[in-house]
Amino acid sequence: MAAFSAPLRRYYAFYTTGFFIVIVVLAILERYGMPPRWIGYSFLFLTIFLYATIGVLARTASISEYYVAGRRIPAVFNGMATGADWMSSASFMGLAGTLYLSGYQGLAYVMGWTGGYVLVALLLAPYLRRFGQYTIPDFLAARYGGKPARLVGVFATVLASFVYVVAQIYGVGLITSRFVGLQFEIGVFVGLAGILVCSFLGGMRAVTWTQVAQYMILIVAYLVPVTILSYQVTGIPLPQLTYGQVLQQVQALEEKIFDDPAEIDSRHLFRQRADEYYERILTLPDSLEEERERLSARINELKSSNAQMRDVVAIERQRRELPHTSDAARDYWEHLMRQAAQRGAEPEHHVTVYPGDGDGVNETARLNFLTLVFCLMVGTAALPHVLMRYYTTPSVREARTSVFWSLLFILVLYLTAPAYAVFAKYEIYSTLIGSSMAQLPVWVSAWGKIGLVSIEDVNGDGILQLAELSLNPDVILLATPEIAGLPYVISGLVAAGALAAALSTADGLLLTIASALSHDVYYKVFRPNATTQWRLVVSKSLLLVVAVLAATVASQKPATILFMVAWAFSLAGSALFPALILGVFWKRATPAGAVSGMTIGLLVTIYYMVRVQFDAIPWLGIDGIGMEPWLGIQSTSAGVWGVAAGFLTIIVVSLCGKPPDKETQDFVESVRYPEADRS
């Protein structure tokens, strides 16, 4: 193994140095007047070209290379690849912003997305590696005797992974459209090309080596801006250690800002506006007509009084955007009411835990925090694209070590994300809030143009209050280089990092879906006699079809995309986690128990999500299905019910049936002991 890793380390050392040289060269070119758009293009095409090169060099025609990279990825490199595979555009772009907006409550993601690896390491990775086939449904089929378990496993794998991959491709579209000015739909398909060059020719082997390259880019891109910011604010370039002090300064700023009279006034005005929308919703449908007449009257009044053309156009747009039916108006105003109410709400301190009315703990917030952590952890330990990575190590021992490396590499990002949130908060509270509306920094208007920052001088005093500023979570990470006043080359680097995060995760997911369909459904169920070449042809064509399908869905910009990502964890966790765990640790679990447990777990989760989240599904003609959440638990944590139902069903149904046969019991023994022979 050592002979195999030494040249690899050298290659990647050269590669990392090369990457730093490129950054420096671009920085110098920028000083000599290279326009920002070109820097954006350079980063986009250089990195995609790099991934394509690795993808082509690692092409393969062997089944084992294609599905599990020949099972010879050293633990450290598998750890890095898992890191890139794992950290999606949600972790890279969204996490820092979520932490900025929700303070302590956002830490559920940090704990959930790291603690899940304890479950992977202790309960799954070594046993799956010992089993040593190609996919997760392979394990279910071997343990639970045959096709039903395999097919339910495939269904859950494809469902969870597809939802997730759509979100990644959507992320690619956003990055390319923001940084290089491509149209969103074109950006999606450029990203698609970037994904396919990695996975199409070389399968898991190529994906693994591009993911290692992508990990390095994304981690450098994540660390550089906040490290510089930390140096500027505290004089020490170690944001993870210094943000404790900055947090105390933020608390002092919060005390001052929250009780400022102008601030209280702005919040009051927003709450009043929310009440007005509420009134209007109550008096539908008359209020819709009244509102239209009111706007028309206002337009005529302005026109006759020689007002600014800009004001007239703004109100005309308001009138145009007014919905035509009273159902649409209800949705429209409810949305605006929620927005206004949110801006008018009492702000919470960054470190306040489970904020409730007064000084007490909000029990619902606490319960939601704990259940979300649980769902994210269980989901982590059940998402097939992560588990599959532990099939690629040379041995069980390396699989165990590899989980350690994975989490270590992942932690570098997750320990930095809360620092991002605190430094950004410090900069915004100390310099932006309280400054004059006429002299806001350039980044505010630049990101405002694409709707990520919105500002409204509600009390008309010409000064920016905290309540008057509303930020989209993604902007915290994307705008940090500008907030810190860094050159554009750093922004380009951040974009390249975000692209690497989205592409690497999308690659892993697409490959997982294609393997589940080609290996588990086509080869194992329909054509067990298919030749090796033919299996690869099927796998590659499916990869292409799924990729185009996912890009098509992503280019429709589905509105519920953020919910869908959180749902993927609950779906995977409730369908696969109980069956996998009991499959290793409980010999008595039977095929009937597993199949019914997986199905019921999945159904309970879907039932809860749909009924809590939606009141109506128009395209199915279903109406009035909304329900009150049980114990106030949100739909993103639906997995708690599904996982519980899954475990319960497997145990009850298994105990009612006959114990599994000798062969199955022997199989369980064989995955428990690394040396045991499986024949």
Partner 1 sequence: MKLTQKHQDYWRRNLRITALLLAIWFVVTFVVSYFARDLARFTLLGFPLGFYMGAQGSPLIYVIIIWCYARYMNDLDREYGVNEVEHEADDQRP
Toward partner 1, which CB reaches closer, 244 or 485?
244
Tokens 């890009």 identify what position? 551
**Smallest distance from the beta carbon of 486 to partner 1, in angstroms?**
25
Is residue 234 within 8 A of residue 242, CB to CB? The reply is yes
Check residue 347 and report its DSSP letter. P
Q: Torsion angle, CA of 441/443/444/450, rounded to 10 degrees?
A: 160
361 forms part of the interface with partner 1 (CB under 8 A): yes
Toward partner 1, which CB reaches closer, 245 or 436?
245
617 forms part of the interface with partner 1 (CB under 8 A): no
Size, binding site for partner 1 by CB under 8 A = 62
Contact track, partner 1, 50-69, x by CB under 8 A: ------------xxxx----
* Amino acid letter for position 519: H
**Smallest distance from the beta carbon of 62 to partner 1, in angstroms?**
6
Query: Segment contacting partner 1 (CB under 8 A): 5-13, 116-124, 551-559, 604-612?
Result: 116-124
Residue 94, CA distances (Å) to 105, 471, 484 in order: 14, 12, 19
Given candidates 27, 48, 80, 121, which one binds partner 1 under the rule CB under 8 A? 121
Residues in 420-479 at the binding interface with partner 1, rule: CB under 8 A: none
* CA neighbor of 402 nearest in space, from 641, 80, 71: 80
Tell me the C-alpha distance between 520 and 581, whole Å: 21
Is residue 157 within 8 A of residue 136, CB to CB? The reply is yes
208 forms part of the interface with partner 1 (CB under 8 A): no
126 forms part of the interface with partner 1 (CB under 8 A): yes
DSSP-derived 3-state class of residue 421: helix
Tell me the C-alpha distance between 191 and 168, whole Å: 10
Query: Segment contacting partner 1 (CB under 8 A): 196-204, 238-246, 475-483, 590-598?
Result: 238-246
Given candidates 8, 56, 101, 111, which one binds partner 1 under the rule CB under 8 A? 111
238 forms part of the interface with partner 1 (CB under 8 A): no
Given candidates 90, 110, 160, 329, which one binds partner 1 under the rule CB under 8 A? 110
397 forms part of the interface with partner 1 (CB under 8 A): yes
CA dihedral for 382, 386, 391, 393, sign (positive or negative): negative
Toward partner 1, which CB reaches closer, 384 or 418?
418
* Cβ neighbours of residue 88 closer than 8 Å, sequence gap 6 or more: 164, 167, 168, 171, 501, 502, 505, 565
**Smallest distance from the beta carbon of 406 to partner 1, in angstroms?**
9
Given candidates 147, 298, 366, 611, which one binds partner 1 under the rule CB under 8 A? 366
* Cβ neighbours of residue 419 closer than 8 Å, sequence gap 6 or more: 226, 230, 239, 240, 242, 243
70 forms part of the interface with partner 1 (CB under 8 A): yes
370 forms part of the interface with partner 1 (CB under 8 A): yes
Tell me the C-alpha distance between 525 and 147, whole Å: 7
Toward partner 1, which CB reaches closer, 63 or 166?
63
Q: Would you list the DSSP string of 45-99?
A: HHHHHHHHHHHHHT----HHHHHHGGG---HHHHHHHHHHHH--HIIIIIHHHHH
* Cβ neighbours of residue 319 closer than 8 Å, sequence gap 6 or more: 292, 295, 296, 299
Query: Segment contacting partner 1 (CB under 8 A): 245-253, 261-269, 273-281, 642-650?
Result: 245-253
**Smallest distance from the beta carbon of 654 to partner 1, in angstroms?**
20
Residues in 543-582 at the binding interface with partner 1, rule: CB under 8 A: none
Tell me the C-alpha distance between 588 and 598, whole Å: 16
245 forms part of the interface with partner 1 (CB under 8 A): yes
101 forms part of the interface with partner 1 (CB under 8 A): no
414 forms part of the interface with partner 1 (CB under 8 A): yes
Q: Torsion angle, CA of 323/324/325/326, rounded to 10 degrees?
A: 50
292 forms part of the interface with partner 1 (CB under 8 A): no
Contact track, partner 1, 129-168, x by CB under 8 A: ---x------------------------------------
Residue 438, CA distances (Å) to 113, 160, 199, 432, 462 in order: 42, 47, 50, 12, 7
8 forms part of the interface with partner 1 (CB under 8 A): no
**End-to-end alpha-carbon separation of the chain, Å?**
26
87 forms part of the interface with partner 1 (CB under 8 A): no
**Smallest distance from the beta carbon of 246 to partner 1, in angstroms?**
8
Toward partner 1, which CB reaches closer, 539 or 596?
539
What's the per-residue H, E or C state across 626-669? Answer: CCCCHHHCCHHHCHHHHHHHHHHHHHHHHHHCCCCCHHHHHHHH
**Smallest distance from the beta carbon of 223 to partner 1, in angstroms?**
16
Toward partner 1, which CB reaches closer, 26 or 246?
246
255 forms part of the interface with partner 1 (CB under 8 A): no
Q: Would you state the structure tokens that stand for residue 35, as one six-digit string?
A: 């326009």
Query: Segment contacting partner 1 (CB under 8 A): 207-215, 219-227, 353-361, 430-438?
Result: 353-361
* Long-range Cβ contacts of 549-553 (<8 Å, 24+ apart): 550/162, 550/165, 550/166, 550/169, 550/506, 550/510, 551/169, 551/188, 551/189, 551/191, 551/192, 553/166
Given candidates 26, 54, 93, 107, which one binds partner 1 under the rule CB under 8 A? 107
Query: Segment contacting partner 1 (CB under 8 A): 277-285, 399-407, 497-505, 556-564?
Result: 399-407
**Smallest distance from the beta carbon of 106 to partner 1, in angstroms?**
9
395 forms part of the interface with partner 1 (CB under 8 A): yes
Query: Segment contacting partner 1 (CB under 8 A): 219-227, 365-373, 511-519, 565-573?
Result: 365-373
Given candidates 54, 172, 195, 403, which one binds partner 1 under the rule CB under 8 A? 403
**Smallest distance from the beta carbon of 73 to partner 1, in angstroms?**
11
CA dihedral for 88, 94, 99, 100, sign (positive or negative): positive
**Smallest distance from the beta carbon of 102 to partner 1, in angstroms?**
12
227 forms part of the interface with partner 1 (CB under 8 A): no
Tell me the C-alpha distance between 345 and 54, whole Å: 51
* CA neighbor of 220 nearest in space, from 484, 18, 38: 18
**Smallest distance from the beta carbon of 302 to partner 1, in angstroms?**
51
Q: Which residues bind partner 1 (CB under 8 A)?
A: 1, 62-65, 70-72, 104, 107-108, 110-111, 114-115, 117-118, 121-123, 126, 132, 240-241, 244-245, 247-248, 351, 353-354, 361, 366, 369-370, 373-374, 377, 394-398, 400-401, 403-404, 407-408, 411, 414-415, 418, 666, 669-670, 672-677
